[in-house]
Amino acid sequence: MTTTPAIAIRDVVKRYAPAGGEGKLALKGVSFDVPEGGIFGLLGPNGAGKSTLINIMAGLVNKTSGSIAIWGFDIDRDMRNAKRSIGIVPQEIVFDPFFTPFEVLEIQAGLYGIAKHLRRSEELLRAVHLSDKRNAYARTLSGGMKRRLLIAKALVHAPPVLVLDEPTAGVDVELRRQLWELVTEMNREGVTIVLTTHYLEEAEELCDRIAIINHGEVIANKPTRELVGMAREKVVVLTLDKDIADLPAHPAFLKCDKTGERTVEITYDKDRSNAGEVLAAVQAQGFAIIDVTTREADLEDVFVTLTSEARAAA
Ligand code: ADP
Ligand code: MG
């Protein structure tokens, strides 16, 4: 079965125009698909190239090469339909301070040529919990309200895909929760969500799939469960009392590697087993244990490992 992805990104390269030198290579041939219907996280440290990629989709930055299709529409050949299929909430908050939230949405609807009777300004204000601020000047809104208004603005033309660039950067815990809820709500209503973040925890909690980008390269792209699964694994390193002919085996072992004549590394899922069980299983197979060390990883370790591997390879 094949379905058209919400966004298909192929070999996208971006070199910013040289400022004297040879220019900054911000994207080095990025490819991935955003499947329809989920919440997709583009995770990466500052300077990784996340905003560059989003701004290319938004038509704000020209790519150097490669292609992007949004909802099946190529952004070069069919920019008009591509644009209609996506709503983008930029990283920077910019508003004319003298418009009210209602006006901001009406003006945006006008830009998309949406007839007055088809506009959804009131409904959108409700959706982002800003109905009571309908007639307030944008400059009087709190940072969190402005972010919510930007989300409503991005949804004015009812795009099937909503992209949020660092929606919670510099936002307090309470507001972050609110934004997460809002994003989850939009997704439940059928909008495919893409968000960029440099917070691991955010990506882990919200996203069903995560791509990790570092120095302009995608270094991982997996369902969140699998990525976090890489962090659920725990390893015990055992030195045994005799040479190992037959490796110890047990259903709780995810992996058992012989690393020396008398040493093995056993990987297990720390949610399903524990070191005691692993040791008991090894002893039950006739080995005595001379020495034990353990190591474990969390998502942060997975991230650090992946990003440093990518650095080493560069
Ligand atoms: P992120 O959003 O992941 O933090 P960006 O896409 O903003 O990363 O930046 C990626 C790289 O491109 C960085 O090294 C940044 O300094 C550089 N960059 C971004 N915008 C420009 C620009 N307009 N001109 C030159 N270099 C830029
Ligand atoms: Mg950015």
The pTM score is 0.79
pLDDT band at 27 (very low <50, low <70, confident <90, very high): very high
Would you state the structure tokens that stand for residue 254, as one six-digit string?
A: 């995810």
Q: Is the pLDDT of residue 133 over 70?
A: yes
The torsion angles phi and psi of 264, rounded to 5 degrees, stand at -135, 150
Distance CA 211, CA 126 (A): 32
State mean pLDDT over 252-263: 90
Q: Would the CB of 176 count as within 6 Å of ligand 1?
A: no
Determine the pLDDT at residue 22: 75
**Distance of CA 185 from the midpoint of ligand 2 (Å):** 24
| Residue with tokens 């008009």, as numbered in its chain | 80
pLDDT band at 310 (very low <50, low <70, confident <90, very high): low
What atom in ligand 1 is closest to the CA of residue 213?
3
Nearest to 90 by CA among 112, 70, 65, 60: 60
**Distance of CA 197 from the midpoint of ligand 1 (Å):** 15
Distance CA 15, CA 23 (A): 6
Please report the domains of the chain, with CATH numbers, ordered by start residue.
Answer: 7-85+159-228 (3.40.50.300), 233-296 (3.30.70.1560)
pLDDT digits (tens, 9 = 90+) for 177-218: 888 998 999 999 999 999 999 888 889 889 999 999 999 999
Q: Is the pLDDT of residue 309 over 90?
A: no
Continuous H helices in the chain: 50-57, 79-84, 101-111, 121-127, 143-154, 173-188, 200-206, 224-232, 275-284, 299-313
State mean pLDDT over 44-54: 94
Q: Is 167 helix (H, G, I), strand (E, B) or coil?
A: coil
Cβ neighbours for 26, distance < 8 A, ≥ 6 positions apart: 14, 15, 16, 49, 52, 216
Bridge-partner residues for 144, per DSSP?
none
DSSP 42-74: EE--TTSSHHHHHHHHTTSS--SEEEEEETTEE
Distance CA 299, CA 207 (A): 14
Q: Is the pLDDT of residue 229 over 90?
A: no
Q: Is the pLDDT of residue 313 over 70?
A: no
Nearest CA to ligand 1 atom 23: 16
State mean pLDDT over 135-145: 90
Percent of the chain at pLDDT > 70 equals: 94
pLDDT band at 55 (very low <50, low <70, confident <90, very high): very high
Q: Is the pLDDT of residue 294 over 70?
A: yes
Q: Is the pLDDT of residue 1 over 60?
A: no
State mean pLDDT over 86-98: 88
C-alpha distances in angstroms, 211 versus 125, 164, 195, 226, 272?
31, 15, 11, 12, 27
Q: Would the CB of 282 count as within 6 Å of ligand 1?
A: no
State mean pLDDT over 264-288: 90
Percent of the chain at pLDDT > 90 equals: 62
Q: Is the pLDDT of residue 119 over 90?
A: yes
**Distance of CA 129 from the midpoint of ligand 2 (Å):** 26
What atom in ligand 1 is closest to the CA of residue 91?
2
Pairing outcome for strands 86-89 and 161-165? parallel
Q: Give, for ligand 1, the residue of 16, 30, 57 to mutate: max count of ligand atoms closer than 8 Å to Cβ.
A: 16
**Distance of CA 266 from the midpoint of ligand 1 (Å):** 42
